[in-house]
Chain A
Amino acid sequence: MSEKKTRRIWDVPDDENFYYGHTACQGCGGALAMRLALKALGTDVAVTIPACCWTIIAGGFPGHALKVPVFHTAFETAAIVAAGIKGGLEVTGRKSTISLAWAGDGGTFDIGLQALSGAAERGEDIIYAVYDNEAYMNTGIQRSSATPPGAWTTTTPAKRPNPRPKKNLMEIMAAHKVPYAATATPAYPEDLIRKFRKAKEMAGQGLRFIHILAPCPPGWKMASDYSVHSARLAVESRVFPLYEIEDGGRKYTINYWPKGIPIEEYLKIQGRFRHLFKPGGEKWLEAFKEFVEENWNQLVEKHKLTHGTTDNIPRGYYK
C-alpha cells in the first residue's frame, strides 16, 4: 500500500500552473486535464486555444488563470496557429518552448480537422491535445462527430438520438503517421502526465496527438462529483481504452487492460443515455455496445500485431 502511495506522489508534480479564478463548471474534465497537462509540461509552453469551453475557462478579459501564455484563436485554426507560433518562436530564437494546441472535440473532430490534418501530415512540431467532452458543450450540448452512438444532445433528442458511431480520430491520426498519438483521461492522472511528458520529449519529431476523454457533468447530465468516476468507468468498461500509437502509426500499445465491467455501469450514471434504458431504447443500447466491442477487439488485434501477445498489458496497475 505505502509503496503505491509513494509512487503516486512522485509521479504527479506539485507545481500548479492553473490558478483559481478560472470559470470552468464544477467537475469539468477539461479543466482537470489542463491542470494535469501543465504539471507534465511545465511553464515553457505557449498554448493556442480555439473557440471551445476553454475560451471561457481561461478567464475573461483582463483575467488569465494560467501560468503560461494563451493565444485565443478562431474555431478551426488551433493546429495551424500553434504551428505558426512554433515557427515564430523558432525564428526569434526560442526553440525550446513547447507549442501546445488545446481544443475541444468540435474544434478537432469537426471544424478544425482540416488544419489538424495539414499540421499532422506536414509534421508540425506541436503537441495537439483534444479534451473531448463528446458534444458542443460550450454552445449548450449539440452533437459533434465525437458524440457516441445513441447519446442525447440538444440536436439529437432522445426520440432520435445520435445515429452514428463516434468518429475514430486516433485512427485518423495514425493514418497521418504522426510520431505519437495517445488516449488519456483525468481519471488516470499518472498515465495522462506520462503521456504529456512523452509528447514533450518527442519535440522536433512532428505532431504529437493526445486524445483526452473529458467528462462534462452538465452535458452528460450527471452530478459534478461523477466526473472522475465516469471517466474511470469509461476506461474500465472498454468504452475509452487507454492506449498509444507510436512509430508513425505502426506500433499500438494498450496501456491498461480494463476490468471489462458492464457498459451499463458507465451509461446509467449519465442522463444523456437515460432513454437507452426505457422501452424502445434497446436498439440504441445494442448499437452502443456493438460500437465499443468492435473498437476494443480491433485495438486488441493491433496490440497483438505489435507485441505478439496481450500478456504484457498491465492489469490492475492503476488501482
Chain B
Amino acid sequence: MSFKKVTTGNHAVSYAVWSSRVQIISAYPITPQTQIVELLSEIVAEGKLQAKFITVESEHSAMAACIGASATGARAFTATSAQGLALMHEMLHWAAGARLPIVMANVNRAMAPPWSVWTDQNDSLSQLTTGWMQIYNESNQEVYDSVIIGYKVAEQVHLPLMTVLDAFILSHTSEPVEIHTQEEVDEYLPPYDPGEYYTIKTEDPRGYGLLTMPSDYYEFRYKVQRAHERAIEVFKKEFKNFEEVFGRKHWFFEEFMMDDADYVIVTSGSLSSDVKYAVAKLRKEKGLKVGVLKMRVVRPYPFEEVRKVLGDRKKIAVIDRNIGFGYHGVFYEELKSALYPLEKRPPVFGYIIGIGGRDVTPADIEDIIDDMLKRDEMTEIIWKGVRL
C-alpha cells in the first residue's frame, strides 16, 4: 500500500530513485540539490538500495560516471543545480548522443554572477538543445512521479531525461507526497533492458562514439530528433499506464480552469500555484474567463497538443522565470513559435518575473492579467517588478 509522507522535493526525488532501483548514483554536492544525494547515500549505505554510489570530484565527472555506467546497461542517476549543470554541459551532449537513458534531477537555481542560490530556470533552459528531455514540476508529488515516469520513458526511447524542481520552494519545502511501495513501482517500472541497443560487452566488442565522417554523422543527429518525436507517443502511453497503476494523471501540461477560458496564462514550475490562485480569484470576483496552462514536458515539445488547447483563445500571457538574453523569455519564445503555423492565432504576451528567486505573489499575477487585458498589439517582453 502506498502511504502519504510529508517530505521535501529533494527527498521526494531520493525516494523515487530508491523505488526505481537505480544501480549507479554519482553526484557532487551543490546547494540546493545536496539533500537528494545525502539521503540516497544513506539509503545505499544501509543496503536498502543495491547500488554503487560514486562520490566524484565534480559535476562534470558525475555525469561522466553515469555515462560510463549507463553504457554498460546499468540504471544511473545524478542530481545537480545551476553551476553544476553548466559544468556538465559537455557531458549532457555526450549522454544524449550516446543514447543513454540517464535520469537527472536538476534543482532550478539562478546562475552566477552575482552568486545566488535561489530559483530561476536559466540553468536548465540553457540545456534545451543538448538532446535531453525535460520535465518541469509544480509540486513535490509531481517531482516524485516524474522520476519514475522519467526512467520508463527514457529507457524506451534511449534518451536522457532531466526532471526540474525549483530551488527551496520545492527542494526544501515539505508537502504531503504519496510514496509507493516497491511492488507498486516494480509493476510499472521493470528493470532496465537495453533491448536492441548495444551496451558494453567484452564478448561483443564494439566501438562506441567513434570518429564519424560527414557521410554518416548527420544520420546520428537525425535519429536523436526522431527519438524525441517518438517520445511524444511514449509519454502518452506511459502517462496512461501510470494513471492505471498509481491513480494520478499526468500530461505534457496541466490545464486549470481552461474549459471556457478566453484568456490563458502559460506558466511552469512552482509559481504555477500563485497563478492558479490569482486566476481562481479573478474568475470568482470578476467573472473573468481566464485559465492556466502549466507546461510540464518541454523536451520533446508537445507542439500538436499545445496548438490544440491554445489555438482559439483570445489572448495568452506567458510567464517566464528566466530570460533568454538578447531575445525573450524561453517559454514565451517557444510558445509563439509553436503557434505560428496556425492560420488564426491569438496574440501572445511575454512577462518576465521572479528571477533569482524574487518572490512572486498572486497580486503580481493579477497585475499581469490586468496588463494583458489592456494590450492589443503584441510587443517584446515585459518585465514585472524591476526595481531600479
Question: Which residues of A does B touch, CB under 8 Å?
Answer: 43-46, 48, 55-56, 58-64, 66-74, 76-77, 80-92, 94, 97, 114-115, 117-118, 121-122, 124
User: A203 → chain B, closest Cβ, in Å?
Assistant: 14
The minimal Cβ–Cβ distance linking A70 to chain B, given in whole angstroms, is 5
Cα A74 to Cα B61 with chains together (Å): 11
Is the pair A114, B58 in contact by a Cβ cutoff of 8 Å?
Answer: yes
Q: How far is the CA of A115 from the CA of B91 in the complex (A)?
A: 13
**Those of B40-93 within 8 Å (CB) of chain A:** 50-52, 54-58, 60-61, 64-74, 76, 90-91
Q: Is the CB of B90 within 8 A of A72?
A: no
Within 8 Å by CB of A43, from B26, B52, B205, lies: B205
Given A64-B206, A69-B205, A71-B200, also A55-B64 (CB < 8 A): no
- Within the complex, the shortest CB–CB distance from B55 to chain A, in Å, comes to 7
A74 CA to B89 CA in the complex, in Å? 11
Which residues of B sit under 8 angstroms from A56, Cβ to Cβ? 211
Shortest A47–chain B CB gap in Å is: 9
The 3 closest A-B pairs by CB, nearest first: A84-B68, A88-B72, A118-B57
**Least CB separation from B53: chain A residue:** A87
Instruction: Determine whether the beta carbon of B90 is less than 8 Å from that of A74.
Output: yes
Q: Are A85 and B212 in contact (CB under 8 A)?
A: no
Contact assessment for A83 and B54 in the assembled complex, using a CB-CB cutoff below 8 Å:
yes
Q: Which residues of A contact B68 (CB under 8 A)?
A: 48, 71, 73, 80-88
C-alpha gap A146/B68 in the complex (Å): 27
- Whether A80 contacts B200 in the complex (CB less than 8 A), given A59-B207, A72-B207, A88-B24, comes out as no
Tell me if B239 is interfacial: C-beta within 8 Å of chain A: no
Given contacts A60-B211, A85-B71, A85-B72, contact A66 B205 (CB under 8 A): yes
A66 to B206, CA, bound (A): 8
**Which of B71, B73, B211 sits near A71, CB closer than 8 Å?**
B71
Q: How far is the CA of A74 from the CA of B60 in the complex (A)?
A: 10
**Which residues of A have CB within 8 Å of B56?**
80, 118
Residues of A within 8 A of B76 (CB): 84, 88
- The minimal Cβ–Cβ distance linking A40 to chain B, given in whole angstroms, is 15
Contacts A62-B216, A72-B207 known; list 7 others, CB within 8 Å.
Answer: A68-B205, A71-B200, A80-B61, A81-B67, A84-B70, A87-B65, A122-B54
B23 close to A (CB within 8 Å): yes
CB distance from B119 to the nearest CB of A (A): 29
Residues of A within 8 A of B201 (CB): 69
| A69 and B206 contacting across the interface, CB-CB below 8 Å | yes
Q: Nearest CB to that of B25 among chain A residues?
A: A87
Write the chain B residue with the least CB distance to A117: B57
Let me know if A46 and B200 touch, CB within 8 A: yes
Of all chain B residues, the one with the shortest Cβ separation from A96 is: B202
B24 touches A91 (CB 8 A): yes
18 contacts between A and B (CB under 8 A): A55-B211, A58-B207, A68-B205, A69-B200, A69-B204, A69-B208, A70-B205, A71-B68, A74-B64, A84-B64, A84-B76, A87-B26, A88-B76, A91-B69, A91-B74, A92-B23, A117-B57, A122-B55
Contacts of B72 in A (CB 8 A): 46, 85, 88-89, 92, 94
Q: Using a Cβ–Cβ cut-off of 8 Å, how many residues does chain B contribute to the interface with A?
A: 42
Residues of B within 8 A of A73 (CB): 64, 67-68, 94, 209
Q: Cβ of A87: which chain B residues have Cβ within 8 Å of it?
A: 24, 26, 52, 54, 65, 68-69, 74
B167 CB to nearest chain A CB (Å): 26
Q: Are B24 and A71 in contact (CB under 8 A)?
A: no
Question: A66 to B94, alpha carbons, bound, how many Å?
Answer: 22
B210 within 8 A of A: yes
A55 vs B211: C-alpha distance when bound (angstroms): 7
A209 to chain B minimum Cβ distance, whole angstroms, is 17
Complex contacts, A63 vs chain B, CB 8 Å: 207, 210
Among A44, A68, A84, A97, contact of B67 (Cβ-Cβ < 8 Å): A84
User: Could you say which residues of chain A place their CB within 8 Å of the CB of B70?
Assistant: 84, 88
Q: How far is the CB of A260 from chain B (nearest CB, A)?
A: 41
A270 to B91, CA, bound (A): 38
Chain B interface residues toward A at CB < 8 A: 23-24, 26, 50-52, 54-58, 60-61, 64-74, 76, 90-91, 94, 200-202, 204-213, 216
Contact B207 A45 (CB under 8 A): no
When the two chains form their complex, are residues B74 and A114 in contact, meaning their CB atoms are under 8 A apart?
no
Which chain A positions have C-beta within 8 A of B65? 80-81, 83-84, 87
Q: How far apart are the CA atoms of A86 and B26 in the complex, in Å?
A: 13
Q: How far, in whole Å, are A150 and B76 apart by their CA atoms in the complex?
A: 46
Q: How far is the CA of A71 from the CA of B207 in the complex (A)?
A: 6
The residues of B that contact A88 with a CB separation of less than 8 Å are 23-24, 68-74, 76, 200
* Complex alpha-carbon distance, A61 and B23, angstroms: 30
Q: Find A69's partner among B23, B69, B202, B211 (CB 8 Å cutoff).
A: B202
Q: Is B50 in contact with A91, judged by CB distance below 8 angstroms?
A: yes
Residue in A59, A77, A83 whose beta carbon sits within 8 Å of that of B91 in the complex: A77
Q: Which residue of B lies closest to A79 (CB)?
A: B61
B161 to chain A, nearest CB (A): 18
> In whole angstroms, what is the CA distance A287 to B200 when docked?
47
CA distance A70 to B98 in the complex (A): 13
Q: State whether A64 touches B205 (Cβ < 8 A).
A: yes
Q: A77-B64, A84-B68, A87-B74 are in contact. Are A72 and B210 (CB under 8 A)?
A: yes
Residue contact A70 to B73, C-beta cutoff 8 Å: no
Q: Given the complex, which residues of A lie within 8 Å of B54, measured CB to CB?
A: 83-84, 87, 122, 124
Tell me the complex Cα distance, A69–B58, Å.
26
Which B residues are in CB contact (< 8 Å) with A83? Answer: 54, 65, 68
* One of A68, A84, A86 near B66 (C-beta < 8 A): A84
Of A74, A89, A114, A118, the residue contacting B94 (CB under 8 A) is A74
**Contact: A118 with B58, CB < 8 Å?**
yes
The interface residues of chain B lying within 8 Å CB-to-CB of A44 are 202
CB neighbours of B50 from chain A (8 A): 91
Contacts of A80 in B (CB 8 A): 56, 61, 64-65, 68
Q: Which of B24, B202, B212 contacts A46 (CB 8 A)?
A: B202
Cβ B61 vs Cβ A77 within 8 A: yes
Contact B200 A58 (CB under 8 A): no
Q: Specify which chain B residues have a CB less than 8 angstroms from the CB of A86 in the assembled complex.
A: 68
Quick one: which of A71, A85, A118 contacts B209, CB cutoff 8 A? A71
Residues on B with C-beta less than 8 A from A66 are 205, 207
